[in-house]
Amino acid sequence: MANVVVVGSQWGDEGKGKIVDWLSEQADIVVRFQGGHNAGHTLVINGTTYKLSLLPSGVVRPGKLSIIGNGVVLDPHALIDEIAKLKKQNIDVTPDNLRIAENTALILPLHRELDAIRENANAALSIGTTRRGIGPAYEDKVGRRAIRLMDLADGATLDRKIERLLTHHNALRKGLGLDLIEAGAVHQDLTSVAPALLPFMDSVWSLLEQKRREGKRILFEGAQGALLDVDHGTYPFVTSSNTVAAQASTGSGIGPASIGYVLGICKAYTTRVGAGPFPTEQKNETGRILGERGKEFGVVTGRPRRCGWFDAVLVRQSVRTSGIHGLALTKLDILDGFDEIKVCVAYRLDGREIDYLPAGEHAQARVEPVYETIAGWREGTARARSWADLPAQAIKYVRRLEELIGCSAVVLSTSPEREDTILMQNPFET
């Protein structure tokens, strides 16, 4: 049995929530390994919609253990609010079904404020963050001044760690002309949330090793998408963490040899939230139709997503940087009714054709898509649950994408409902 990592292979919003929920029925443990509450995963189960940002998708299923790994940056107030919202939907989150790594770095109010100030300072240089403090929290983590969950249980050293943090932040704030932060205010905020958080604290790396030895199935849930990876994405228009599959190991403490299968999620077209390059974006009627049909609005921000044709160059690149074994293709039904569908098969840059997205920001902004046109289909694919339910031309479209990407589609999703899924290969049984 393979432990499975689920990663987005585009710019996020690929439908990971549904796929993870669908797979979590077979898993014993579901792990979030990076990002923060800038993620947005929507689950629709028996007509009830659950919107999650921090909590792993398995938390809505009884009998599953959910884990927030050390690769996540955790906003205590956001977590408390999310748990309370689920409580209203009759989902109880307790230490019996949720554990948080003791070495998880925390997002504080000062991080949120700094994030917003930076984004507002120069609109021309904005990268489109969610202004939730994710980036500044990761900066403090790598700067070795973060407050971590375990620090809330160590009153003897917490004040010293707060002072170290504020030495950096108050110097920044002074330069920006902002009021300085009192250590007592930070201490009071942290001690106020500590009783709610500390019962969930655990040595996650040790717990996962124990569960692995017991033969438990572990599902690792990524946030955002591979093209937002801080190293391998469209830098600087990226998130502040590594979003590729390798981060599942680093962000949870489990060895890479314990990860057996990488499932990439991608839409049958392409979307992006926020600023940054988007070679196949359609700022026209096609883009409007895709956005309306696909209900393309960010779960976290509510911002409309930019929409465009499928970009095989980018997904092929994600397959390689994440070592993806198979793809889950979502929202095929949104393409129903198009006479023609275009797929980007290469780029043209300064008069020459290339088969990859260059790393340079200026070059990324200049690439032009080279399209292949594929005949569409009039019949509906919505709610199809087998290959036999799909129009022949829709099957041809999927097969052509597989050829261009160099990776097989092992799951097809044809609606937000978890049952409307076509399975060709079970990642847990490879």
DSSP sequence for 99-158: EEETTPEEP-HHHHHHHHHHHHH-GGG-----SSSHHHHHHHHHTT---BGGGGG-HHHH
DSSP H/E element including 43: strand 41-45
Nearest Cα to Cα of residue 82 among 100, 70, 101:
100
- The two tokens of residue 156 are 């003897």
Instruction: Locate all alpha helices (DSSP H) within 214-310, ordered by sequence.
Output: 247-250, 285-293
Return left, alpha or beta for 315; rule: phi > 0 is left, psi -120 to 50 is alpha, else beta. Answer: alpha
Checking 279-285 for CB contacts under 8 A at 24+ apart, the result is: 279/308, 279/311, 279/313, 279/314, 279/344, 279/347, 279/357, 279/367, 279/368, 279/369, 280/308, 280/309, 280/310, 280/311, 280/342, 280/344, 280/369, 281/306, 281/307, 281/308, 282/307, 282/308, 282/309
**Amino acid, single-letter form, for residue 283:** K
Catalytic residue among 21, 37, 41, 333: 41
Strands 218-221 and 105-106: unpaired
**Amino acid, single-letter form, for residue 52:** L
Q: Do you find a cis peptide bond into 256, omega within 30 degrees of 0?
A: no
How far is the first Cα of the chain from the last one, in angstroms, to the nearest whole number?
A: 7
- The two tokens of residue 16 are 């990971």
**Could you give the CA distance from residue 135 to residue 137 in angstroms, rounded to a whole number?**
5
Neighbours of 344 (CB within 10 A): 23
- Whether 13 sits among the annotated catalytic residues: the reply is yes
- Residues marked active site are found at 13, 41
